[in-house]
Amino acid sequence: MTIPATTPASATDVHIARTERFAAHNYHPLPVVLSSGDGAWVTDIEGRRYLDCLAGYSALNFGHRNPRLLRRANEQLNHLTLTSRAFYNDQLGGFAEALAGLCHKDMVLPMNSGAEAVETAIKVSRKWGYEVKGIPADSARVITMRGNFHGRTTTIVSFSDDDTATGGFGPFAPGFVSVPYGDIDAIRQVITPNTVAVLFEPIQGEGGVVIPPPGFLSRLREVCTRNNILMVADEIQSGLARTGKTFACDHEDVVPDVYILGKTLGGGILPLSAVVADSDILGVVTPGTHGSTFGGNPLASAVGAEVVAMLQTGEYQARAHELGERLRAGLDGLIGSGLSEVRVRGLWAGVDIAPDLMTGREACAGLLARGVLAKDTHGSTVRFAPPLVASEADIDLLVDAVSEVMSDGSAVGGETAGGDGHGVCEQ
C-alpha cells in the first residue's frame, strides 16, 4: 500500500491555523503573517517584503519603528510606564499642554482607543447640554451621519447603518438621529432645542475615503454656532497630517468645538486617544464622572508629546500633500481602465473598482501577490494610506501594482501570498 506524500505546512499556514483556532473571528485578514517592519515596509515570516499601504488605518503615519519615537518610548520605559490617574505623573501635563496648543484649545481628556474617545465625546456633549445649554434631563440628542464609522461599542453601533456592526447587538441606545453625509439641509431639518452636538468625520475613512461636498464643513460650522450646538469632529483617522493638513477640518479653515483624536497620536507604538476642547466644554467633567486606568499614563503621554513635537514642524503635512498629488496623478490615469472613481485627500485614497471586473477583496489579494498591502471596504472599494515616510518610488510602485491588477485581472478567483493559498475565516 502506497501512502500519499503530504506537503509540510509552511510557517504561514501554522500561524494562520493557530490564530483561527484560538482567536475570535472578528476579522477577516489577508493570508499574510507579518513579523517585522521598518518605515513604510513590512516583512512576513517567510522573508517576503511588502509596502504597507494601510498603515494601521493611519495609526502608523510616521512609519513602522520610527527611530525618534522609539527613542522616546525607550527612555520612558526605563523610568515609569503606569501610575493610574489616582496620582499625578511627570509626563501628562506636558503632553496635554502640547496637544492643546496644537489644537488651539484649552484642555485635553486623554483616553486609549478611538472608540473610547468617541464615547467620551458623547458623554461630554450630553453633560454640556444639561449643565451649560440647559436642556431637560435625559433629553439630549446627537446628530450623526450615515455611512459613519466611529467604533464598535454598543453605544456607537446604535447610530451605525452597517448591518454587520449592528446585527445581533440590540437593543440600541436612544438619543441619536442620522442624516445623509454632507447634507447640510438634512441637518437643519432634524435640529431640535434638545440637540447638543453634531458628530461627524471630516472625511469618512471606513466608508472609502468619502470627501464631503466643498463648503460643507464651513456651513456646518455656521449651523452649529447659530443653534448653540457642539461641532464634534472625529479626526481619529483623518487628523494629524494624513490629509496634508494637521486636521482635515483645516482644508476649509474650520475649527470644531471638539476634536476626537487617536491612532497616530500613539505613534504606532501604543494606544493613545484624546478629546480636546475648550474649558467651557471639558470643564463639565469632574472627579469621578469619567476615567480610565490607562488614560494619560506616562508612557503614552511621553510618546504623544513627541508626536505633537514632530507635527509642529509641518514637514509631515507637506509630505502627505506632495506624495498625495503623485498618488492622485497615477490613480487618475487608471480611471476607465479598471477604476471607476478615485478620491484623494493628502496621502489618503479611496478607489472604486468596476464591479464587473473584481471585488475589492480580490483586488487586495492581487496587490498582496505583488508586494502591496491594502484594505477593501464596502465590496468594490479599496483604501490606500501609506505611511507619510514613504518615498516617491514607493508611491510609483503602488500605482504600478494597481495598474497590473486592473489590467490582467489575476486577482480574481483566489487569495495568494507568493503563490500559496491559505484558508481564512469569514468575518
179-221 pLDDT tens trace: 999 999 999 999 999 999 999 999 999 999 999 999 999 999 9
> Which pLDDT tens digit goes with each residue over 281-308?
999 999 999 999 999 999 999 999 999 9
Structural domain contains residue 426: no
pLDDT of amino acid 377: 93
pLDDT of amino acid 9: 85
Quick check: helix, strand or coil at residue 87? coil
pLDDT of amino acid 426: 29
Structural domain contains residue 178: yes
Among 277, 312, 347, give the residue marking a domain's end. Answer: 312
Least confident of 1-15, 110-124, 339-353, 382-396: 1-15
Do 277 and 385 fall into the same domain?
A: no
Do 122 and 256 fall into the same domain?
A: yes
Structural domain contains residue 1: no
Structural domain contains residue 73: no
Pairing of strands 258-261, 273-277: antiparallel
Evaluate if residue 417 carries a pLDDT over 60: no
Structural domain contains residue 72: no
Q: State how far the alpha carbon of 148 is from the alpha carbons of 88, 100, 211, 391, in Å.
A: 36, 26, 12, 31
Do 292 and 400 fall into the same domain?
A: no
Q: 234 an active-site residue? A: yes
> Which pLDDT tens digit goes with each residue over 370-381?
999 999 999 999
Catalytic-role residue among 62, 95, 127, 149: 149
Among 264, 296, 312, give the residue marking a domain's end. Answer: 312
> Which pLDDT tens digit goes with each residue over 33-46?
999 999 999 999 99
Per the structure, how many domains does the chain have?
A: 2
Do 202 and 262 fall into the same domain?
A: yes
Structural domain contains residue 109: yes
Q: Higher confidence at residue 343 or residue 419?
A: 343
pLDDT of amino acid 356: 93
Evaluate if residue 424 carries a pLDDT over 80: no
Do 302 and 334 fall into the same domain?
A: no
Do 326 and 303 fall into the same domain?
A: no
Do 308 and 319 fall into the same domain?
A: no
Do 255 and 374 fall into the same domain?
A: no
Yes or no: say if 132 and 284 are a contact pair by the CB < 8 Å rule.
Answer: yes
Quick check: helix, strand or coil at residue 249? helix
Catalytic-role residue among 44, 176, 200, 234: 234
> Which pLDDT tens digit goes with each residue over 219-251?
999 999 999 999 999 999 999 999 999 999 999
Q: Average pLDDT, whole number, for the chain?
A: 94
pLDDT of amino acid 274: 98
Q: Burial of 270 by CB count in 10 Å (0-12 exposed, 13-18 middle, 19+ buried)?
A: middle
Domain of residue 388, residue span: 11-65+315-408
The domain that contains 350 carries what CATH number? 3.90.1150.10
> pLDDT band at 7, cuts 50/70/90?
low
Do 151 and 282 fall into the same domain?
A: yes
Structural domain contains residue 4: no
Q: State how far the alpha carbon of 368 is from the alpha carbons of 41, 158, 174, 351, 373, in Å.
A: 13, 34, 42, 16, 6
pLDDT of amino acid 408: 85
Q: Nearest Cα to 230, choosing from 148, 120, 359, 125? A: 125
Do 146 and 273 fall into the same domain?
A: yes
Do 338 and 304 fall into the same domain?
A: no
Among 270, 286, 312, give the residue marking a domain's end. Answer: 312
Q: 375 an active-site residue? A: no
Q: 159 an active-site residue? A: no
Structural domain contains residue 70: no
- Name residue, grid cell 450623526: 144
Tell me the β-bridge partners of 260: 234, 275
Catalytic-role residue among 263, 294, 375, 376: 263
Do 284 and 325 fall into the same domain?
A: no
CA angle 103, 112, 204 (to 5 degrees): 60
Instruction: Check the CA dihedral 46-50-54-56 and report its sign.
Output: positive
Evaluate if residue 6 carries a pLDDT over 70: no
The dihedrals phi and psi of 153, each to the nearest 5 degrees, come to -70, 165
